Amino acid sequence: MFHKSVMLEESMEALAIRPDGIYVDATFGGGGHSRGILKRLNEGRLFAFDQDSDAMKNEIADPRITMIHNNFRYLKNFLRLFNRIPVDGILADLGVSSHQIDESGRGFSTRLDGILDMRMDQRKKGTAKEIVNSYPEERLREVLRQFGEVRNAGRVASLLVTARKVKPIATTGELVELLKPTAPHGKENKYLAQVFQAFRIEVNQELEALKEFLGQCADVLKPGGRLAVISYHSLEDKLVKNFMRAGNWTGQIEKDFYGNILAPFNPVIRKPIIPGEKEIRDNPRVRSARLRVAQKR
């Protein structure tokens, strides 16, 4: 198993698992959440998605689970293929797995030197190296500002464009060395993480995929079914919060002519669930995790 599952017990409680229910683990990863769901099932079924080939190597030998090697943005297509709509619950952990971070060849880590890749699905084209070396300066600035919330995005974009004229920026180590002079003193690690986050989101089109996934959850869950999503940064969390509250990305609740709320979900809890102190001590990477839970109307 690649990593400890984040807020495992809280996630299981959020799903309110029925032993005969049909569930989806939209981000299989190391398989910890899937194992937790299977423990609570009898004749129920589980469908587990992951776009990462490495994650698929963790396949669980259990006839009740169906592994789907694809992005969760295709949730509805595959559940329709298996004739499993509607389902009782869906869980998604949006974090980058510890395996992906700790594997230098994947290009996700600011600490390990490796190829500037950052693809979650290595079958797809378009790496971080291609973005850093080919995007116009204005587009680089937009990506850094929008997806990394990098305050000096303009300066970073200009620096990258200047540097790549001398020679292509090929590795994470080269990128980190270029960025060091632009980092705020005392906040270097957070700053580097923001820049890497920006490029990772762009490479994988993460926010667009999340929007597509959330919209499909409303279509495939049965009334009373649960949606539980663990996010790790404000961009994801805002989308999840607004969708669970209002069924859209602005969070503005819409009503019909008779005053009925049009949102497909009711939040089960108003505030997100956060990891406990012990879990944060054992695994500091979970400190920014936020679990939100909603129920289909």
Query: 30-61, pLDDT tens digit by residue?
Result: 999 999 999 999 999 999 999 999 999 999 99
Topology (CATH) of 8-98+206-296: Rossmann fold (3.40.50)
| pLDDT at res. 3 | 57
Distances (CA, A) of 122 to 21, 31, 55, 133, 153: 33, 19, 12, 19, 28
pLDDT at 119: 97
Q: What is the helix, strand, coil percentage profile of the chain, to 5? A: 45, 15, 40
Average pLDDT of the chain? 96
Residue 2 has pLDDT above 70, yes or no: no
Q: Measured between alpha carbons, how far is 42 from 158 in angstroms, rounded to an integer?
A: 57
Predicted confidence band at 100 (pLDDT cuts at 50, 70, 90)? confident
- CATH code for 105-204? 1.10.150.170
CA–CA dist 90, 27 (Å, integer): 10
Q: How many CB atoms lie under 10 A from the CB of residue 58?
A: 21
What pLDDT does residue 102 have?
81
Q: What is the mean pLDDT of residues 261-271?
A: 94
Q: In what order do the strands lie in the sheet with 221-231?
A: 65-68, 45-49, 22-25, 87-93, 221-231, 290-296, 265-267
**pLDDT tens digits for range 113-125:** 999 999 999 999 9
In this prediction, residue 147 has a pLDDT band, given cuts at 50, 70 and 90, of very high
Residue 177, pLDDT above cutoff 90: yes
- What pLDDT does residue 104 have? 80
Angle, alpha carbons 7-10-12 (nearest 5°): 105
Pairing of strands 265-267, 290-296: antiparallel
Residue that has been written with the tokens 């499909």 in this structure:
216
Report the predicted TM-score, pTM, of the whole model to 2 decimal places. 0.95
Q: What is the pLDDT of residue 282?
A: 94
Helices (H) and strands (E) in the chain, counts: 13, 7
Asked whether the beta carbons of 19 and 46 are under 8 A apart, the reply is: no
Amino acid found at 165: K
Are 23 and 85 in contact, with CB atoms under 8 Å apart?
no
pLDDT-derived band at 29 (thresholds 50, 70, 90) equals: very high
Going by pLDDT thresholds of 50, 70 and 90, the confidence category of residue 1 is very low
- Mean pLDDT of all residues in 211-240: 98
Least confident of 79-93, 132-146, 218-232, 258-272: 258-272
State the Cα–Cα distance between residues 195 and 224, nearest whole angstrom. 40
What are the structural domain ranges in the chain?
A: 8-98+206-296, 105-204
The string of pLDDT tens digits covering residues 243-256 is 999 999 999 999 99
